[in-house]
């Protein structure tokens, strides 16, 4: 009973830290309850309209992971998404690495307009199929999607599945589902060269610990065009898959980027010490 009480209190504490819950607590709780029913009773994807971004997204009926958060939090899914929507300008080029169901991709595509472009990368075939449907749902013609991982070389690599598909990883760590697939890895520089792209304005990276490897393959494009970067730094997962916990952190500092964490109400806090836990950062060239 004590453990159950502790778990509930931790969940309440987590919710209180979410912008969507602070704005509309009853709405979020109601949608969470509704989503539980959806995941039990339905096997069909659910469409969620996000009028603030003028997009819609279909999500699979999964209780664990980002589908639940998208359904419950809607436009306030996370602060970095709001930041991206405000900062992407018409004509911008955005790269979404670890696109999952495509929420960042479709928001960036709408903001960039017909003369902008989004390159969207998702290695897991099942998740890639959802991404592809969401591009079609919104009738975007300015998005190029790639069923591959971005890293520092061209290779065929194992990609391990997690019960929460947003936590699929290039590394086999505790809690995985026990299944995997072989995926193609390439570098952003090679993709951009093949497409004739010489400028990238925004780079979003969510790769569950493989941030250093991904950044290495993006290095020529980062040095050439100095994009603003949204990146999840995940030191524990980096260690688990054999990378340096501070590898990506050090690379961004060496590239003379300012690292900040986006807090409530749009406040940006400088992050000057290497974090020991997963954290979303916005990296801006000085």
**Every domain of the chain and the residues it spans:** 1-73, 78-285
- 36: helix, strand or coil: helix
Q: Which of 79-83, 160-164, 235-239, 266-270 has the highest mean pLDDT?
A: 79-83
Quick one: three-class SS letters along 167-234?
HCECCCCCCCCCCEEEEEEECHHHHHHHHCCCCCCEEEECCCCCHHHHHHHHHHHHHHHCCEEEEEEC
pLDDT of 201 > 50? The answer is yes
- Give the pLDDT confidence of 106-141 residue by residue, as tens digits: 999 999 999 999 999 999 999 999 999 999 999 999
Decide yes or no: CATH 3.40.50.150 for domain 78-285: yes
Per-residue model confidence (pLDDT) at position 2:
37
The overall average pLDDT reported for the chain is 93
Q: 142-164: per-residue pLDDT in tens?
A: 999 999 999 999 999 999 999 88
Pairing of strands 202-205, 228-233: parallel
Say what the pTM is. Answer: 0.94
Which residue in 181, 191, 167 sits closest to 240, CA to CA?
A: 167
Mean pLDDT of 184-202: 96
Percent of the chain with pLDDT over 90: 85
């Amino acid at each position: 009973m004590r453990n159950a009480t502790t778990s509930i209190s931790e969940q309440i504490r987590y919710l209180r830290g979410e912008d969507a819950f602070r704005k509309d607590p009853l709405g979020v709780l109601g949608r969470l309850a509704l989503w539980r029913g959806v995941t039990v009773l339905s096997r069909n994807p659910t469409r969620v309209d996000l009028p603030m971004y003028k997009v819609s997204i279909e999500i699979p009926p999964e209780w664990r992971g980002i589908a639940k958060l998208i359904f419950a939090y809607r436009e306030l899914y996370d602060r970095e998404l709001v930041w991206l929507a405000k900062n992407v300008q018409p004509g911008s080029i955005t790269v979404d690495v670890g696109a999952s169901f495509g929420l960042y991709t479709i928001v960036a595509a709408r903001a960039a307009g017909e003369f902008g472009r989004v390159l969207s990368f998702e290695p897991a075939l099942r998740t890639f199929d959802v991404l592809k449907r969401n591009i079609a749902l919104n009738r975007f013609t300015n998005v190029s999607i790639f069923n591959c991982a971005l890293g520092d070389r061209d290779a065929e690599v194992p990609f391990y599945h997690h019960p929460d598909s947003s936590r699929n990883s290039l590394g086999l760590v505790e809690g995985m589902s026990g299944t995997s697939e072989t995926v193609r890895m390439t570098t952003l520089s090679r993709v951009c060269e093949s497409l004739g792209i010489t400028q990238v304005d925004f780079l979003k990276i969510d790769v569950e610990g493989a941030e250093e490897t991904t950044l290495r393959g993006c290095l020529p494009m980062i040095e050439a065009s100095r994009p603003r970067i949204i990146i999840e730094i995940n030191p524990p997962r980096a260690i688990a898959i054999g990378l340096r916990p501070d590898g990506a952190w050090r690379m961004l500092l060496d590239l003379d980027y300012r690292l900040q964490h986006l807090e409530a109400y749009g406040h940006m806090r400088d992050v000057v010490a290497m974090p020991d836990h997963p954290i979303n950062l916005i990296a801006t060239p000085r």
